[in-house]
Amino acid sequence: MTYSIALTSATNEILKNHLLRSDGQEDICYALWSPGKGANRLTALVAEPILPLENERHVHGNASTTSEYLSRATVLAMAKGAGVAFLHSHPWPGWQDMSRDDRATELRQAASVKAATDFPLVGMTLGTDGAWSGRFWVKSAPRTYERCWCESVRVIGDHGLETTFNDRLLPPPAFREELKRTISAWGEEAQQKLARLKYGIIGVGSVGSVVAECLARFGAQHIKLIDYDRVELHNLDRLLHATVKDAKAKRLKVDMIERALKNSATAAKPVIEKYALSVTEEEGFRQALDCDILFSCVDRPWPRHVLNYIAYAYLIPVVDGGILIRMHRGRLRNASWKSHVVCPGKRCLACIGQYDPDLVNVERQGQLDDPTYIENLPADHTLRRNENVFPFSAHLASSLVMHALHVALNPVGIADVGEQTYHFVDGTLDSDRGTTCHENCFFPPIVGKGDLVGLPITGVDVGAVKIRALSKQKRKKGGAS
């Protein structure tokens, strides 16, 4: 199990304003955190600062807390089913180590916090440059608590994805000749950040396969592929790397793309994970939570709904897009594709109009995998528009990667270029910088609540089950898998 911490820029500002004092002294406070448990990573989603009342802490160069302050924070955590985070500042920049007094203070609080909340104490330290460091105090034996350092601390919001890495757990990559031109474009610091982020691609079809290739080429060290589908002959005109041999063997798309990325990756030791799953299935959902940025390359309402949920409840930015083609009398009338990022502080996918929430349950019931249901829909219904061509997919994939670069790098202070729609016929690009969801939207109130939301978001994906069953039948008959 690895560990990380995430918080919104709004929460970050409150904590920075309290902890970074004008007199240069250290300060302390508490906050509540919610768990975001992925398949292999536990993230503390820090979302509710608990600033000290009068006489609850003492500042004397260093800072100390009272038992009453800890008790108040613990009671609030118990009432909300959350964990307790203890935060303090240090008078120097960067990722912080701990002094003997720091360790003793956090270790002293770990037992009482664990006993009261059943969650580990999370410790966080803020440097003068706004960089966070963090650790979990995990109970490893009776009366024994082990300090488990986080790999990274992420802040998501107005300035994009600000990330502080633990160089001991995620060391910055050394210079490689293969990336010389890439580094010359945006600099070594940017490259070290981009390389260490963990990327998830949900759907590795016509768009996702190109996104994956872009990430591998610019040196991403960790790419996760999630898609249960297999290569078919009708995929070959728009699926990067796919061959007739892949189609005849009905090879899993994740197997094909993984093989290709191992050949094109420029990182020294790339980690390419593949999962023949849907993000709507519990295991696929948990795999997605291990990522720092997710690419939504899906075209169904349920997976988009799940990714929307992840963006807000788990503070993982989701880069999404889609293509719409309209024909008239057998000729192209218009084509457009839309790209955008959703995360706290921005409009969600439902409010943008990228999926119809009413169709989520329709898909969960398996009706979208029923040919009769689809055939009875109007000819211009969004669920019947699955036309696509490789040039359009490649352009959209490039747009998605550009959005991710803005979020990750915040070039010249621009982390958000808005919701962009490109119109192929006249070559125009529209941009909408709307940030407000519709009134009573479900998603803004669940920001940073992670597993505590408890919404039954996953379930049995009928499409995934059908494809697995067909594959099993083929294997029994001696067919290729």
What DSSP letter does each residue of 48-86 carry, written as one string? EEE---TTSEEEESEEEE-HHHHHHHHHHHHHHT-EEEE
Would you say the pTM of this structure is higher than 0.75? Answer: yes
Q: What pLDDT sits at residue 329?
A: 76
Higher pLDDT, 58 or 376: 58
> Of the given ranges (241-255, 366-380, 407-421), which has the lowest mean pLDDT?
366-380
The CATH-assigned architecture of domain 2-165 is 3-Layer(aba) Sandwich (3.40)
Averaged over 334-361, what is the pLDDT?
92
Averaged over 284-304, what is the pLDDT?
96
Q: What pLDDT sits at residue 161?
A: 97
CB contact at 8 A, 292 and 163: yes
- Alpha-helix runs per DSSP H in 5-66: 9-19
* Measured distance CA(221)–CA(343) in Å, rounded: 23
Average pLDDT value for the chain: 91
Q: What pLDDT sits at residue 81?
A: 96
- Maximal CA-CA distance, the chain: 79
Q: Which whole-number Å values give the CA distances from 123 to 75, 133, 166, 284, 299, in the listed order?
A: 18, 8, 14, 29, 40
Burial category of 425 from C-beta neighbours within 10 Å (exposed 0-12, middle 13-18, buried 19 and up): exposed
Q: What pLDDT sits at residue 20?
A: 94
pLDDT tens, 141-195? 998 999 999 999 999 998 999 999 999 999 999 999 999 999 999 999 999 999 9
Residue 346 has pLDDT above 60, yes or no: yes
Q: What pLDDT sits at residue 60?
A: 82
Q: What pLDDT sits at residue 12?
A: 97
Burial category of 354 from C-beta neighbours within 10 Å (exposed 0-12, middle 13-18, buried 19 and up): buried
* Measured distance CA(31)–CA(8) in Å, rounded: 13
Residue 481 has pLDDT above 50, yes or no: no
Residue 384 has pLDDT above 60, yes or no: no
> Of the given ranges (325-329, 441-445, 453-457), which has the lowest mean pLDDT?
325-329
Residue (of 19, 2, 287) closest to 129 by Cα position: 19
CB contact at 8 A, 41 and 316: no
* Measured distance CA(187)–CA(183) in Å, rounded: 5
Q: What is the CA radius of gyration of the chain?
A: 24
Q: What pLDDT sits at residue 368?
A: 72
Averaged over 365-378, what is the pLDDT?
65
Residue 324 has pLDDT above 90, yes or no: no
Q: What pLDDT sits at residue 473?
A: 64
Q: What pLDDT sits at residue 334?
A: 85
pLDDT category of residue 371 using cuts at 50, 70 and 90: low
Q: What pLDDT sits at residue 191?
A: 96
Token pair belonging to 133: 């460091």
Token pair belonging to 202: 């949900």
Sign of CA dihedral 367, 231, 279, 358: negative
Of the chain, the percentage scoring pLDDT greater than 70 comes to: 94
Residue 250 has pLDDT above 50, yes or no: yes
DSSP single-letter state for residue 171? P
Q: Which of 143-152, 368-377, 462-471 tops mean pLDDT? A: 143-152
* Measured distance CA(186)–CA(160) in Å, rounded: 17
Token pair belonging to 147: 């300090």
pLDDT tens, 70-111? 999 999 999 999 999 999 999 999 999 999 999 999 999 999
Residue 387 has pLDDT above 70, yes or no: no
* Measured distance CA(296)–CA(278) in Å, rounded: 12
Domain boundaries, the chain: 2-165, 178-474
CATH topology match: 2-165 vs 178-474: no
Averaged over 316-323, what is the pLDDT?
95
Q: What pLDDT sits at residue 86?
A: 97
Q: What pLDDT sits at residue 383?
A: 57
Residue 112 has pLDDT above 70, yes or no: yes
The CATH-assigned architecture of domain 178-474 is 3-Layer(aba) Sandwich (3.40)
Of the chain, the percentage scoring pLDDT greater than 90 comes to: 77
